[in-house]
Chains A and B, each alone.
Chain A
Amino acid sequence: MINNRLTFERDSRFQLSTGLMTMLFLVTMAVNLFAQKPEGYIRYLRTGNWAKQMAAVDYMSKQQRDRMMYMWGNRSEYKSFANLWFSPSGSKYEDSEEKADRDDEGYNWRKEEYTIMRNFETQTVHEVEYILGKTYIIDDSLHYPNWKILNDMKEVAGHICMNAFYEDTLKMQKITAWYALDLPVSTGPERLGGLPGVILEIDINDGAMVITADKVELKPLTTELDLPKKVKGKKINESQYYGILKKHFDERRAAEEPPFWSIRY
């Protein structure tokens, strides 16, 4: 896949007219797809920048944050893939085992549980998350952030998207989401959803974490949305989940330590 994309980029000027045709075709096809069920698979590329993540923590001194950006700003990126399967009845989001940074090839960290399953028929969410050294199973009804709908449009992975904004005051994150107009399933990467279309791109704190769809395949799903194999963990609901996060963030704030060493950004 990477290779194909590269070839495309290299020859893109030459292939512009062909590319244009393809894209027109894709858009037409996307319109036609409304007639069929919007379901399929999306691979997201997650690009994090830990210097930017720490620089967005308001309680560390400006001098510390400036120094960190000066010494590490350009050299603190990490990359990984995640998978989303979606259909009008539900969605499942998981980290991928595929390596996004080829420098990481050949070394494997222990996989940390992270599964977000939404069921739109019962309006429930089922999550398995490794938080602060423990595995939790979170079951609750679907809740979404209060998105502000904005006016920008752009294209992500062949789909025209509009944007929305939300500020997570607990995690100190300013989140911009780009959702597809032609994929009317209210889901997205990580714990984000609740927009009229599938979220294809997320930008948190101006590049501290960018999650962008790099592959969208519309196809009928078979068993992809089935419940994953049983994982042991403590069962909690969403308000308990936020309670655990809040406790951690409050403690880190009191200690003036960066909070994201030990928790998923």
Chain B
Amino acid sequence: MRKLTSLALLILLSLPFLLSAQNPSKVTIKGVVRDSTNAEAGYATVMLLNIKDSTLVNFTTTNDKGVFSFNAVRNVPYLLKISHISYIPHQQALQPSATEVNDLGVIIMKPISQALMEVVIKAAKAPLRIRGDTIEYDATTFKVPPGSTVEDLLRRLPGIDVDADGNISTQGKDVKRVYVDGKTFFGDDPKSVTKNLDAEAISKVQVFDEKSEQTKLTGVDDGTKEKAMNLGLKDEYKKGSFGKATLAGGTSERWAARGNFNRFDEKNQLSFIGYGNNINQTGVNWEDYGEFKGQNTFNDYDNGDFGFGGGGRGYYIISDGGMFMGSDRRGYSESYGAGINYNFDNKKTKYNASYFYNQTSQTLDQYTSKKTFLTEGSVLNNDTLSQSSFYGNHSIGTRFEHDIDSNNKIIAKANIKFSSNTNSNYQVQRFTNEDISPINSLSTDNSTDLGSWSVGTAAIYRHRFLKAGRSFALSAGYNTSHNSTTDSLLSINQFFTATTFTEQIRQLKDRATDATEIKSSALYTEPITKKWYWETFYNFSLSGNEANRQVKSLPEETRIDSVSVYSDNSTLYNRLGSSIRYSNNGFNAMAGVAMQQLKLKGSYLQDLNLPFIDSVPEIRRTYNNWVPNVNINYQLPNNMYLSLNYSYNVDEPSVSDLAPVPNSSNRNFLIEGNPELKPWRSHSVSFSYNYWNPASFANISLYTSASFSEDQIVYNQWIKTVEGVGLQTITKPDNISEGKDLSVGLWSNLPIIKTKFSVGVDGNFNIGKSASYVNDIRNDNTNTGIDFGLNFDITPSTKFILDLRGNVGFNKISYSIQKEQDQNIQNHSAYASLKWQFVKKTFLESSFNYTVYINDRWDFDRRIPIWNASVRRIIGEKNRFEVRLAAFDIFNKRVSITQTATSNYVLQSVAPTLARYFMLSLSYNLRGYEDKLSKNRMMF
């Protein structure tokens, strides 16, 4: 009995297994699809889906009788799904079949109602989704004017009717209830929502059937359904704000503060920025700049100057470079800045407006030694300058870009700038002969006060014709700038020559300049064939420059005629050019020629209402020139790019170079004009080769460029010591057919161990020849330079990043006269930078830069090691705080050095600047700081 019970139990328990074991492993699933009128539904799509995740297993279509069949498919649970353009999609779960054929019999599909169909069809332009019985509209694709209510939006939706009172109906039924994001809103009246809610806030509109209120209350489905509507609000993630703030204090009273805050949504960006410091940072860094300007950081290169040299397609320019990257390495400066920027972009219209103010006060002490070569011997000048200066700029910029339709576009922009600049300096210059016997000593006490404002405007219109490639563009611009300067000078010149005497000069100099420019360009492009284009352009500009300089001697305030002048210059520029362009499969070439005409006019008066200066007749010049231009870009297979450019440039002399007017109030430097001056013509050729391997990221670039000048404009000099003046330099421009430049360069970056170690090699060679006359003796000057650099990027992990660089540079300057003045200059540097995350969220960053300057001619050998180091730690759950302790110039060696060598002088100047200090800073970032190092060096 007991055995029997056990057996029965066993059979009972195993029954399901036995049953399932009887199921065939393969099954044929078939059925007939009909609609509710019993008509056969042919050509419906029938799919078998995995019941767990809806992945597609198999599919077929019904035949014209509505019959479908899946033969020999695995006998497992499925989701059967049938869809057809005329019916609401049908789906049902299928269990494993006990028999080899699972005949599902007749499957009835509900037709998509006429009204629903109409909606689907009308939605040709508007994405619309049907989920079961729910129709969903994408509200963002229906355009309503700003400020519209949801009711206005609904009136635009196909399949939805809104009567005069605001009652909503769809498919002939009234909409009884409106939800907002699934929640009831303002009670039961749908109109309270649709009349009050802003259409801008809505992302989607869903219409569906809902069980009646009665059904909901009683829980008994009486079968009646009511139309309801849900309004989906726009996602919040597209809106946001971010910001940062840093406060820092250090030794030697060093401090810095900066902060920025941004708010944005899909179309708008609003940002604020502010900073102040006394650590020589005169602007904001790249990262802060990008976050401030947002979508307006880069703009298309659209200055409207069409034709050769007018920029091309696809170039981006930084929209306002003025405010970033500022860092003056000389002296000590204290800077402040603040700005606001607004961008709007809805793809059709882009608008930007920004205001920025920045100011810097600087104190500078600079020691300069200069050696000027005369026909015989040379003069040494030791110059001590002590200067304090201030500048402040307000700049307002706005840019508007609008696509009127797909064939017409306008761009308009305007920039306004107000600046003030004051500068007071005290300078002592001691002139000696080569044997250090003193000639004279000139001390000047000068203060300058400058105020200026400028407005720049431009507008561009582009039109595309229906024929692909045919286009027309027109631009116009107006620029004006005004500045006035007051200069007061006290100079004492003490002579130690034959007769020792002292001369004192006190002057007050007023200078006002008004410049205006009006310009316009036009460009027409005609496709000749699919590969050949013909372009014609025209440029016009008229610019005028009025300058008035009046100098009085103090204290008697009498006008000094010899150096006071009023000038009125104008330049009329016309250029008409044409070019042929060929473009096919990576080969793009252009060749063209333009006729350019330049008309110069200049007149010089003693003062605005005074007569002409006798010695200077009115200047009138007209220059006509043909200028050819060739440009070839060729993209070879395997990521190699070749480019070749040739241009012929004609640079006309400036009016001031032509007019022999007194344009210097300094008797030590006199400038004479040359009415015989011809335009400076030059040929420039450049060639480049680039290769990069997209798999290894190795890249190599080679480039070479050369230029040859005819009638180069050079400034000949007559230098002599004049009794009562000291060392006097008279400069006069003239043409000389010399002037050649050649430069060859190489850059490469080669990964040695992928992602961990790469080596970069670069080199540059250049040679330049120029000539000028010094005291009527021709001096040919050759400048040869060679640089070589090597760098290693070592990134074994994201916790340790090391960057090593070394550069050696040799420069040889030689002269045809005074061979003994030839110089060999060496500039070498070694740089190492380390970033190391040694504890979680804690980073050590250090850099070391060693620079060497050697000039054998001057016995000058300076080696400067600069070592910076900092430790920072990110704090807080969201990484929002950062504490940093930094040491700058630990060896206290920082100093600014400049060296210049020309055909008749060499100079070097040294200025002490901000050296060792330590700083502790605390920063807050709304978005949180990155709690790891980044291997990539992306600019954004």
A interface with B by C-beta (< 8 Å): 2-3, 6, 9, 12, 16, 19-20, 23-24, 27, 30-31, 34-35, 60-64, 66-68, 70-75, 99, 102-111, 132-134, 146-155, 158, 160, 162, 164, 181-182, 184, 194-197, 248, 251, 254-258, 261-263
A71-B940, A73-B295 known; A148 and B55 CB under 8 Å?
yes
Could you tell me the distance between the alpha carbons of A3 and B407 in the complex, rounded to whole angstroms?
10
* Shortest Cβ distance from residue A10 to the other chain B in the assembled complex, whole angstroms: 9
B120 CB contact (under 8 Å) in A155, A162, A251: A155
Task: Give the distance in Å from the alpha carbon of A105 to the alpha carbon of B264 in the complex.
Answer: 34
Report which B residues bind A (CB closer than 8 A). 42-43, 45, 47, 49, 53-56, 59, 61, 64, 81, 83-86, 89, 118, 120-125, 127-132, 136, 242, 262, 264, 269, 287, 290-291, 293-295, 297-298, 313-314, 345, 347, 350, 405-406, 464, 466, 468-469, 471, 525, 527, 533, 581, 583-588, 635-639, 693-695, 697, 754-756, 795, 798, 927-930, 932, 934-936, 938, 940
Beta-carbon nearest neighbor of A13 in chain B:
B156
B645 to chain A, nearest CB (A): 16
Q: Is the CB of B43 within 8 A of A151?
A: no
Q: What are 14 contact pairs spanning A and B, CB under 8 A?
A: A27-B121, A62-B927, A71-B297, A74-B345, A75-B345, A102-B464, A102-B468, A106-B525, A109-B586, A133-B639, A162-B83, A181-B83, A254-B755, A262-B697
Q: Are B56 and A194 in contact (CB under 8 A)?
A: yes
Assembled-state Cα–Cα distance A9/B143 (Å):
13
Pick the contact of B59 from A67, A152, A196 — CB < 8 Å?
A196
CA distance A257 to B755 in the complex (A): 9
Does the CB pair B347–A146 fall under 8 Å? no
CB of B405 within 8 A of CB of A149, answer: no
B468 touching A105, Cβ below 8 Å: yes
For B47, the chain A residues whose CB sits under 8 A away are: 149, 196
Contact: B469 with A106, CB < 8 Å? Answer: yes
Distance in Å: Cβ of A37 to nearest Cβ of chain B: 13
Contact partner of B934 (CB less than 8 A), chosen from A31, A64, A132, A160, is A64
Residue of B nearest to A19 (CB): B124
- Per the bound structure, the CA–CA distance linking A149 and B928 in Å amounts to 39
| Distance of A35 Cα from B61 Cα, bound (Å) | 13
Q: B468–A12 contact, CB under 8 A? A: no
Chain B residues with CB under 8 Å of A35's CB are 64
Is the Cβ of B639 less than 8 Å from the Cβ of A23?
no
Residues in A whose Cβ lies below 8 Å from that of B927 = 62-63, 66
In the complex, which residues of chain B have a beta carbon less than 8 angstroms from the beta carbon of A194?
56
Q: Is the CB of A184 within 8 A of B61?
A: yes
Residues of B within 8 A of A106 (CB): 313, 469, 525, 527, 533, 581, 583
Contact residues in A for B581 (Cβ distance below 8 Å): 106
Interchain nearest-CB distance for B891 vs A (Å): 33
Question: How many A-B pairs with Cβ below 8 Å?
Answer: 206
Q: Is the CB of A31 within 8 A of B43?
A: yes
CB <8 Å contact, B936 and A105: no
- Please give, as numbers and ranges, the residues of chain A lying within 8 Å of B64 by CB-CB distance: 34-35
Would you call A154 and B935 a contact (CB within 8 A)?
A: no
| A151 and B298 alpha carbons, distance in the complex (Å) | 42
The distance in angstroms between the C-alpha atoms of A80 and B487, with both chains bound, is 61
- The answer on a CB contact under 8 Å between A153 and B934 is no
Given A70-B291, A106-B525, answer yes or no on A256-B120 (Cβ-Cβ < 8 Å): no
Q: Output the least CB separation between A205 and chain B (Å).
A: 15
> What 7 additional pairs, Cβ within 8 angstroms, besides A105-B468, A111-B586?
A31-B43, A64-B940, A102-B468, A106-B527, A107-B583, A108-B587, A162-B83
Query: Shortest distance in angstroms between A156's beta carbon and chain B's nearest beta carbon?
Result: 9
Given A148-B53, A181-B45, A107 contacting B313 (CB threshold 8 A): yes
By a CB distance below 8 angstroms, the chain B residues around A149 are: 47, 49, 54-56, 81
* A148-B55, A257-B935 known; A66+B242 contact, CB < 8 A: yes
Q: Are B695 and A262 neighbours in the complex by a CB distance under 8 Å?
A: yes
| A251 CA to B751 CA, complexed, in Å | 12
Inter-chain contact B930/A61, CB cutoff 8 Å: yes
Q: 3 closest pairs, A vs B, by CB? A: A110-B586, A262-B694, A132-B695
Complex contacts, A146 vs chain B, CB 8 Å: 55-56
Complex: how many Å from CA A35 to CA B932? 62
Contact at A184–B43, with CB atoms within 8 Å? yes
Cβ distance B524 to chain A, nearest Cβ, rounded Å: 13
A6 to B345, CA, bound (A): 23
A74 CA to B352 CA, complexed, in Å: 14
Given the complex of chains A and B, what is the CA–CA distance between A162 and B129 in angstroms?
A: 9
Contact A155 B124 (CB under 8 A): yes
Given that A132-B694, A263-B694 are contacting pairs, would A255 and B54 also be in contact in the complex, using a CB cutoff of 8 Å?
Answer: no
**A23 adjacent to B121 (CB under 8 Å):** yes
Residues from chain B with a CB closer than 8 A to the CB of A66 are: 242, 927
List the B residue with the shortest CB-CB distance to A161.
B85
User: Distance in Å from the Cβ of A140 to the closest Cβ of chain B?
Assistant: 20
| Alpha-carbon distance between A113 and B664 when the two chains are bound, in angstroms | 66
The answer, among A9, A70, A73, A133, for a CB contact under 8 Å with B638, is: A133
CB-based contact A70/B264 at 8 Å: yes
